[in-house]
Structure 1
Amino acid sequence: MAQKATKTLAASNTARLNQTLYLTLFIHGIFWLVRGLLFRSTFTRRSLLLYLVLSSPQLLIQFLFERQSRPKLNDAGAIQRAGEDLEAKGLTEYMWDVVYWTYGVIFFAAVAGDWSWWLWTVVPMYSAYAAWTTYTGMTGGYTDAAGVPQPEAATSKRQVKMEKRGGQKVSYR
């Protein structure tokens, strides 16, 4: 069972990337079918430009995921590189949010029309909110009556246990 973690990561990356590829083809296909066939009269150059500009971040992120996370195999069929973890926290998690939000916006734009592209403004607002909460979390987030930020007093696990037992007891010999 050599390299079990590598094999597991490669299998999960392959499954997730394949699922994402099929979902992307399905969502973009629905957009083109609905807007191209059913609402042909409202599908203008402006609609096409909005689609190209606002769906490009999702397509670029998916291309990035394919390049970095698709497992590489050698000539013998063994895993040469498993790729980056698609379940990683932080930026990868945020990029998945952008991908899934774009799917929803494209679907609503196909069904409801061009006004649905305004739903894309949620992404920059969320980014600003996340940056602000990260910034205030780093500064402590606590202010006194004068509005001056105060750092949080950290208590260790040992201190918490001692307080549960009734505080620190001094023994005299």
Structure 2
Amino acid sequence: MAQKAAKTLAAHNTAILNRTLLLTLVIHAFFILLRGVVWWSTFTRKSLILYILLCFPSFFIQFQFERIGRPTYGSSPGELRKSGEDLEAKGLTEYMWDVLYWTYGCVILAAVLGDWAWWWWIVIPAYSAWLAYTTFTGARGGMSKFAGEDNAGAPQAGSKRQQKMEKRGGQKVQYR
């Protein structure tokens, strides 16, 4: 059984992408049905512009997932050319899923509660800024350890062997 891991990943990606596509269609149909048909008086040009503008990132993310995650098959049955990237990877892929699901929630809230619910979408850029800040401060804190300084600015003690030698009164290490 050649390429078992690749075939498993391809089947898993296909299931995830099909489920996500169905969920996207249901949620956006719910929005259009509820705002356009049921509450036709609340479906204005402003609502349509907000809907298109704030759903565009989720459409783009969905397109990217389809492009990188959808497996490709050869001409003969069962011939897997490319299994696609792992859609459960950490990092950017994980953040893209967060944006997608948060947008789904905002679409549902906007369909039920009205246009003011789109303000919940502001959480996504705020979350991005918080992630960038914590990454930067973590990297800055990590770089100070390479410079030989602790977070408090005091010199670092060195290795355990050096600490033991200093404790016994042996060879002293001078810090500058």
The bucket for the TM-score relative to the shorter chain is: 0.7 to 0.9
Q: Does the 8 Å CA contact 1:140/1:151 hold for their aligned counterparts? A: no
Q: Which amino acid aligns with 2:68?
A: Q
Give the RMSD, CA atoms, in angstroms. 2.4
Per the alignment, residue 9 of structure 1 pairs with 9
| Aligned-pair CA distance for 1:81 | 0.3
Q: Deviations over 1:61-88 (max 9, x none)?
A: 0011101110000000211100111011
Q: Deviations over 1:79-138 (max 9, x none)?
A: 110011101110000000000000000000000000010011000000000011111111
| Aligned-pair CA distance for 1:143 | 3.7
In the alignment, the residues of structure 2 paired with residue 53 and residue 115 of structure 1 have an alpha-carbon distance, to the nearest angstrom, of 15
What SS class does the counterpart of residue 139 from structure 1 fall into? Answer: helix
Per the alignment, residue 57 of structure 1 pairs with 57
Per the alignment, residue 110 of structure 1 pairs with 111
Per the alignment, residue 133 of structure 1 pairs with 134
Per the alignment, residue 86 of structure 2 pairs with 85
In the alignment, the residues of structure 2 paired with residue 92 and residue 151 of structure 1 have an alpha-carbon distance, to the nearest angstrom, of 39
Q: Which amino acid aligns with 1:55?
A: C
| Aligned-pair CA distance for 1:42 | 1.1
| Aligned-pair CA distance for 1:152 | 8.0
In the alignment, the residues of structure 2 paired with residue 151 and residue 18 of structure 1 have an alpha-carbon distance, to the nearest angstrom, of 56
In the alignment, the residues of structure 2 paired with residue 42 and residue 79 of structure 1 have an alpha-carbon distance, to the nearest angstrom, of 49
Q: Does the 8 Å CA contact 1:140/1:152 hold for their aligned counterparts? A: no
Pair 137,49 (structure 1): closer, same or farther in 2 beyond 3 Å: same
Per the alignment, residue 99 of structure 2 pairs with 98
Q: Does the 8 Å CA contact 1:105/1:120 hold for their aligned counterparts? A: yes
Q: Does the 8 Å CA contact 1:108/1:116 hold for their aligned counterparts? A: yes
Which runs of 4 or more aligned residues in structure 1 lie more than 6 Å from their structure 2 counterparts after TM superposition? 150-155
In the alignment, the residues of structure 1 paired with residue 82 and residue 68 of structure 2 have an alpha-carbon distance, to the nearest angstrom, of 10
Q: How many residues matched?
A: 156
What SS class does the counterpart of residue 83 from structure 1 fall into? Answer: coil
TM-score normalised over the length of structure 1: 0.83
Structure 1 unpaired stretches of 5+ = 169-173
TM-score normalised over the length of structure 2: 0.82
2:25 is the alignment partner of 1:25: yes
Structure 2 unpaired stretches of 5+ = 143-149, 166-176
Show the 5 A alignment for 1:140-159. 140=141, 143-144=151-152
Per the alignment, residue 174 of structure 2 pairs with none
In the alignment, the residues of structure 2 paired with residue 19 and residue 130 of structure 1 have an alpha-carbon distance, to the nearest angstrom, of 28
In the alignment, the residues of structure 2 paired with residue 138 and residue 153 of structure 1 have an alpha-carbon distance, to the nearest angstrom, of 21
Pair 9,154 (structure 1): closer, same or farther in 2 beyond 3 Å: farther
